[in-house]
């Protein structure tokens, strides 16, 4: 069997953090005077990249203030964060079978740690977070780095993503992409190579 590895997005893929994300961004947007409709379509994109786009007319220092604010809000709100159905079982099976995997997330390291702890998801030491790349999703660098940390080429890796920006990032990196339909529909992830109604379908789709 050829060598294969898995690169998992975190929010919406391994953990359900929708309520925490929504509450935090609504609070920050109201404080910053950002119309809520301006934030639509940015799920899966790093907070800093989203706010640089939405607040393009503001000073860099102010943008960074709101990046810190929304990150602090998200880190404090973990009560409703839990593992996506099948995530813990899938990761345990990969470990049992010694199939390499890691997390590739748009979260900062601190936020990723908070989210994985809340969801009781193991966070590998070789995980890729936003503060470890120069350009996050939808750019390909996060998945290129993730594959490298597994000791694999990107075409040996399956990326598992729930958001359009993540799918674009993984496809452009050269990964095979499985779109898990937790936060978006099949029609909203047209560039994914495969679609998963449930994480327990992943290994069958990958033929292992």
Q: State phi, psi for 31 to the nearest 5 degrees.
A: -65, -35
Q: What is the secondary structure of the chain as a DSSP string?
A: ----EEEE-SBTTTEE-HHHHHHHHHHHHHHHT--GGGGTT-TTS-HHHHHHHHTTTS-HHHHHHHHHHHHHHHHH--TT-EEPTTHHHHHHHHHHTT--EEEB-SS-HHHHHHHHHHHT----TT-B-GGGSSS-TTSSHHHHHHHHHHT--GGGEEEEESSHHHHHHHHHHT-EEEEETTSS-GGG-TT-SEEESSGGGHHHHHT-
CB atoms within 10 A of CB 18: 15
Say whether 148 is catalytic: no
Name the catalytic one among 9, 79, 96, 172: 9
Residue 155 among the catalytic residues: no
* Residue of 11, 19, 72, 193 marked active site: 11
CB 55 within 8 A of CB 66: yes
Backbone angles phi, psi at 109, to 5 degrees: -60, -50
Looking at the annotation, which residues are catalytic? 9, 11
């Amino acid at each position: 069997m050829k060598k294969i590895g898995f690169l998992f997005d975190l929010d919406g893929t391994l953990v359900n953090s929708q309520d925490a994300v929504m509450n935090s961004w609504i609070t920050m947007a109201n404080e910053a005077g950002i119309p809520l409709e301006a934030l639509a379509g940015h799920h899966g994109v790093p907070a800093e990249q989203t706010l640089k786009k939405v607040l393009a007319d503001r000073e860099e220092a102010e943008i960074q203030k709101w990046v810190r604010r929304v990150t602090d809000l998200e880190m404090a709100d973990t009560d409703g964060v839990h593992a996506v159905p099948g995530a813990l079982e899938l990761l345990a099976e990969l470990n049992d079978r010694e199939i390499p995997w890691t997390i590739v997330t748009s979260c900062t390291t601190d936020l990723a740690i908070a989210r994985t702890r809340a969801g009781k998801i193991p966070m590998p030491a070789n995980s890729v977070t936003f503060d470890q790349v120069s350009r996050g999703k939808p750019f390909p660098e996060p998945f290129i780095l993730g594959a490298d940390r597994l000791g694999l080429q990107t075409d040996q890796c399956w990326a598992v993503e729930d958001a359009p920006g993540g799918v674009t990032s993984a496809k452009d990196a050269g990964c095979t992409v499985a779109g898990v339909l937790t936060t978006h529909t099949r029609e909203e992830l047209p560039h994914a190579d495969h679609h998963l109604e449930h994480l327990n379908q992943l290994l069958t789709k990958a033929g292992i």
